[in-house]
Chains A and B, each alone.
Chain A
Amino acid sequence: MRPILMKGHERPLTFLRYNRDGDMLFSCAKDHIPTLWYADNGERHGTYRGHNGAVWCCDVSRDSSRLITGSADQTAKLWDVKTETQLFSFKFSSPARSVDFSVGDKLAVITTDPFMERTSAIHVKRIAEDPQDQDGDSVLVLENPEGRKRINRAVWGPLNQTIVSGGEDAVLRIWDAETGKLLKETDKEVGHKQTITSLCKSADDSHFLTGVPVNAVSMSPLLDHVVIGGGQDASAVTTTDHRAGNFEAKFYDKILQEEIGGVKGHFGPINALAFNPDGRSFSSGGEDGYVRLHHFDSDYFNIKI
């Protein structure tokens, strides 16, 4: 396959997100400007100017009308996808690390980093149908029990009943989305030992994929494949030979746990990965500032392991 290289960002990529129809790709980077691309030919369609810090995460509503972005400038902003209009800005007192719309787009979960005296927290915000009615009040605030440890990602569970979070304390927690009660957490003995850096839902919300200690994970909605990328700190890159790996997106079989293959190309670690909802293409964003959009060759779909 010949990947499409998109050089719209001047700083490392942090997050990639397809809309539900799979025709648009949103990219976030440390250069403050989330960007919208066409997911088939990689043309830039627009940028969302307004943040004043690295943008860590974004999510797009099901009907592709709203975009929410979480940034290190201590805000999470709600945008009109079509016009770049900033509809609302949720202000926090620490950087917003991850954002996720609930099913139905009525709620959004936003996690904030530990900062100064503040601990990492999960905020649930109501998203108003009409942007005029939007307010910044939190419906629910969940404080991380492991105080100073950062929550890296929080996503909605099936039917918005739960919120699943994972972070630096290597514990995956399931919270009740109504009451905020901690329902379940992974055992420290059997669970992950290192920071959970990424968390990805399957297409039908039935299971989750956590990335430890890789930078990015994504699950194919079409085949039983997962793709992982990164796993290396950006500061270690200059001392690493590019052939030593870790700059490639590695494909694994979800069930058999066997490696299917690797896709090379980035000049730095991969920070973000996303499968197109149709499963026929995927994109990767690297520390090198490039988004690489790969349309799979037909033989990918016939791979046998």
Chain B
Amino acid sequence: MTMDAQQKTSKFKWGEMDEDDDLDFLLPPKQVIGPDANGLKTVIEYKFNDQGKKVKITTKSRVRKLASARLNKRAMERRSWPRFGDAANEDAGSNLTMVSTEEIVLERPRAPGTKAEESNGDSLSQLSKPGAVLMVCRTCHKKGDHWTSKCPYKDLAAPVDVFVDKPPTGEPSAVSAAPGPGKASYVPPSMRPGADRSAAGSDMRRRNDENSVRVTNLSEDTREPDLMELFHPFGAVTRVYVAIDQKTGVSRGFGFVNFVSREDAQRAINKLNGYGYDNLILRVEWATPRPTQ
């Protein structure tokens, strides 16, 4: 302010001025209004621009209280202490303290709410993981209740010793007599009788990929719960994912849904491909090209 006025006086020479010339080159004082109830603070300043014209600069800023500072008496008194050391003669431009431009969140190791499932025991948490299979107990053939190893009827059922390793997808050829454990040479599990020769482990994974359905042409507002709502009538869904742009936070317009069973996924594709959703026509297809078999 004072700087501006001085500059002005150097341009206008006092001696050259007429008596009746009013002092309009002197700038009106700076006005500070607020902060009001909404925390809006208005600062009105007057300046001369490069052409020597007077400009009014109105700066509106929102004053946000960073912390509900409940200072006690002693703390209030300490507030009035003069600055000392390097802080006393630090120039205003040295921005030692800045508020981060980046919003930092407390990153949870897992999404809130997933905990409830996990506390039910590790078997259920395995189900929610990708690569999970439908839980069928091979001892009592009960579905979705417990894993074979945790079967409460395990002691009652007939011993099935060698077939414990057998994946649930194995064909019923398990009846073929297994060699006794007394056999000397080592037989890898994949070569043992009863083992699914068509690579049991990867089969499980591939099957899960197969049951993955890609949904494209989603509207920006679509979120995972919406997709869940849309797809769960077709069968058990293990995973719903909507691609979100990291920077903007809006949906990128596509997502994936994993079904437990392939039939459910196929039905969902048949039904929802071309389905109008949020003014857009959905495209629903298998996420990976179906392997030719």
Using a CB–CB cutoff of 8 Å, the interface residues on chain A facing chain B are 1-8, 21, 23-24, 33, 35-38, 40-49, 63-64, 82-84, 248, 251, 259-265, 278, 280-281, 292, 294-297, 300, 303-305
Contacts and interface: CB of A to CB of B under 8 A. Distances in A.
B53 interface: no
Contacts of B85: 33, 35, 46-49, 84
B96 A64 contact: no
Interface stretch (B4-12, B21-29, B100-108): B100-108
B88 A46 contact: yes
Contact of A64 (B74, B83, B100, B103): B74
Interface stretch (B65-73, B200-208, B213-221): B65-73
29 contacts: A4-B66, A5-B97, A7-B96, A21-B75, A23-B79, A35-B86, A36-B87, A40-B69, A41-B97, A44-B87, A44-B90, A45-B81, A45-B87, A82-B78, A251-B106, A260-B108, A261-B106, A261-B107, A261-B108, A263-B107, A280-B67, A294-B104, A296-B106, A297-B106, A300-B106, A303-B106, A303-B112, A304-B115, A305-B115
Q: Contact size class for B?
A: 35 or more
A264 B107 contact: yes
Given A251-B106, A260-B109, 19 more contacts: A1-B103, A2-B99, A2-B101, A3-B100, A8-B96, A35-B87, A38-B79, A40-B66, A43-B97, A46-B84, A47-B85, A47-B86, A64-B78, A82-B81, A261-B108, A262-B109, A295-B67, A297-B106, A303-B112
Interface in B42-65: none
B98 interface: yes
A49 B87 CA distance: 11
Contacts of A84: 84-85
A263 B103 CA distance: 11
Contacts of A45: 81, 83-84, 87
Interface centre among B69, B95, B97, B109 (most CB of A within 10 A): B97
A303 B88 CA distance: 41
Contact of B100 (A4, A41, A281, A296): A4
Interface centre among A8, A49, A296 (most CB of B within 10 A): A8
Contact of A295 (B66, B95, B97): B66
Contacts of A21: 71-72, 74-75
Contacts of A83: 84
A40 B72 CA distance: 13
Given A23-B78, A260-B108, A46 B100 contact: no
B97 A6 contact: yes
A41 B66 contact: yes
A88 to B, nearest CB: 18
A297 B68 CA distance: 12
Contacts of B87: 35-36, 44-47
Contacts of B103: 1-2
A152 B65 CA distance: 39
Contacts of A33: 85-86
B27 to A, nearest CB: 30
B83 A4 contact: no
Contact of B104 (A3, A36, A41, A44): A3
Contacts of B102: 2, 265
Contact of A1 (B74, B84, B105): B105
Given A48-B85, A82-B81, A84-B84, A1 B67 contact: no
Given A5-B99, A48-B85, A82-B81, A281 B67 contact: yes
Contact of B97 (A4, A64, A251): A4
Contacts of A8: 96
Contact of B98 (A4, A36, A37, A260): A4
A44 B97 contact: yes
Given A1-B104, A64-B74, A265-B104, A6 B86 contact: no
A35 B86 CA distance: 9
The 3 closest A-B CB pairs, nearest first, are A47-B85, A23-B75, A46-B84
A294 B99 CA distance: 10
Contacts of A261: 106-109
Nearest to A43: B97
Interface string B261-272: 000000000000
Contacts of A40: 66-67, 69
B273 to A, nearest CB: 38
B60 to A, nearest CB: 20
Contacts of A37: 97
A281 B109 CA distance: 21
A6 B100 contact: no
Nearest to B71: A23
A30 to B, nearest CB: 16
Contacts of A294: 104
Contacts of A6: 96-97
A24 B72 CA distance: 12
A79 to B, nearest CB: 10
Interface string B91-125: 00001111111111111110010010000000000
